[in-house]
Structure 1
């Protein structure tokens, strides 16, 4: 069968021919892979820079999650993170790592939205103390795919006010679901008009910006300002803990959280993933998507569409 594998950390994945998977065990389903998304995590894994790829051997499959179909029944399933190798036409997956999707679900939409929606959903449901109902949520990196999804997720969870931050004023104006927009520029600070802040979702990971925002964020009496490091788009410069004045966390009610894989239990995912899939089925895709056959992965990996839109690979195209 057709597939794709990484054979060098400094080159895109290459189309390869793979053996058919063996017959599934009683605890598995054999699925036809319909769509798998190339997120920042997938790209990081493909370049050997993600923790999950540090000890990987070539040839290597950098895929993370996707959508498959049981050919025997026609049932569609979301395949959870790192449950199977999805740069292939067909794969065996343990049943406990599958979420059944409603008939008629768009596989490309689910593949494109699963990661960005789950990032903010899991953070606001399972990491942020007290959730975001009736609170003000600030999104650093609101123009990213995950930032755009976060605005819609926070709104669905009852956030009272959603403020988006980005360096690009024109692009920020296109983000839906925001109550206010702040252009990031030095010196980094939130304007007083934002009012009291309860939750900060940081998808950029730029230390100076994070410190400036924490120093200027207004606190509501009796409430923490919960800063959550969700992403690291910047991937450069000093990080928050290299710059954060110790006096700041002693003088202000700041709570600093992360959202790595160790922050959520298997039960968290089992509980939330069906609801995440329902959210995805209802929402409009808040960013452009570019689809391509998996067989063309090497040629499309670095093309303009793949780098400016969410790339979704179709193994059976």
Structure 2
């Protein structure tokens, strides 16, 4: 069987021959892999820069989820966050990690959207207290892939207003579905037109997040829920002024594996997949054969686009 594996940390996966799979156990299905998304976390795992890969050994498959086909029934499934190697022609997957796709769902789109969309879906469904129905959600880093997907998620979950914040005015203007655009500048200014903010989804981190919390207007009698999702700015820590949380009602939380349990992620799988099956990709998606993984991994043609490998 052919597969793509990292054979040297920091290098793209190589297309190699691996042993054929054994017969699936009674709790498993053997699927033909149709599409595997390559989001930032997969690239981090391939470089051994993501915590989930720190204890891994070579050769290593950095994939986390994908789409597969049961050739016996012709049913297609989204394969949720899995320890099974998906950058291969076939995979044995526990049935508990599978979500059946609708007939109309596009495998490549689902594979491309799953990871960036899951971050905001889990944050708003499992971390935001009371959800976001009728609330104003501010997305810090709205021009990132996950930030763009978060706009659609917030809308689908009933947010009354969605505010996008990012540094590029041009890129921000191209994000669909925003009620308000706020360009991050120094000094930071939050326009009064934004009004009270209920939930902040932060994909950036660092000083700008603190600036936003300091400037945000909070509804009387309510808490501002700040949810740290990503750290695109590269800051390891927040410098949080004590006076800020003393004088403003702010709830600070994170969203990710650990703060969201594996059981919660599994329970949210069907709803997440149902949504992304109907979403239009808010960013450009590039597909390539699994055999070309090594050459396209860092290619200029892919650049900032979302790569999906197709065995």
Task: Name the SS for the 1:31 alignment partner.
Answer: strand
Match of 1:284 among 256, 277, 280: 280
SS of the aligned residue for 2:275 comes to: helix
State the alpha-carbon separation in 1 of the partners of residues 225 and 181 from structure 2. Answer: 19
> Are 2:268 and 1:272 aligned?
yes
> For 2:258, what is the secondary structure of its paired residue?
helix
Shift of residue 188 of structure 1?
A: 2.5
1:73-88 equivalence runs, <5 A: 73-88=73-88
Alpha-carbon separation, structure 1, partners of 2:256 and 2:21: 31
Find the counterpart in structure 1 of residue 111 from structure 2.
111
Instruction: State the Cα distance separating 1:186 from its structure 2 match.
Output: 1.1
Once the two structures are superposed, residues 260-291 of structure 1 have per-residue CA deviations (whole angstroms, 9 ceiling, x without a partner) of 20122344223321111111122211111000
2:46–2:62 CA contact under 8 A, matched in 1: yes
Deviations 1:43-64 (A, max 9, x none): 1100001111001110000000
Number of residue pairs aligned between Structure 1 and Structure 2: 311
Q: TM-score, normalised by structure 2?
A: 0.97
Distance 2:58 2:153 in 1: 38
1:228 paired residue number: 227
Matched, 1:123 2:123: yes
The equivalent position to 2:237 in structure 1, one of 235, 239, 250, is: 239
Question: What residue in structure 2 maps to residue 208 of structure 1?
Answer: 207
The answer to whether the 8 Å contact 1:200/1:227 transfers is: yes
1:238 positional shift: 5.8
Q: Please, which runs of 5 or more residues in structure 2 have no aligned partner?
A: none
- Runs (5+) with no aligned partner, structure 1: none
Runs of 4+ aligned structure 1 residues displaced above 4 Å come to none
Question: CA contact under 8 A between 2:136 and 2:160: conserved in structure 1?
Answer: yes
CA distance in 2, matches of 1:188, 1:228: 20
Distance 1:305 1:187 in 2: 36
Distance 1:140 1:252 in 2: 19
Provide, for residues 49-106 of structure 1, a one-character-per-residue CA deviation record: whole Å limited to 9, x for no partner: 1111001110000000000001111110110112411010001001111111112421
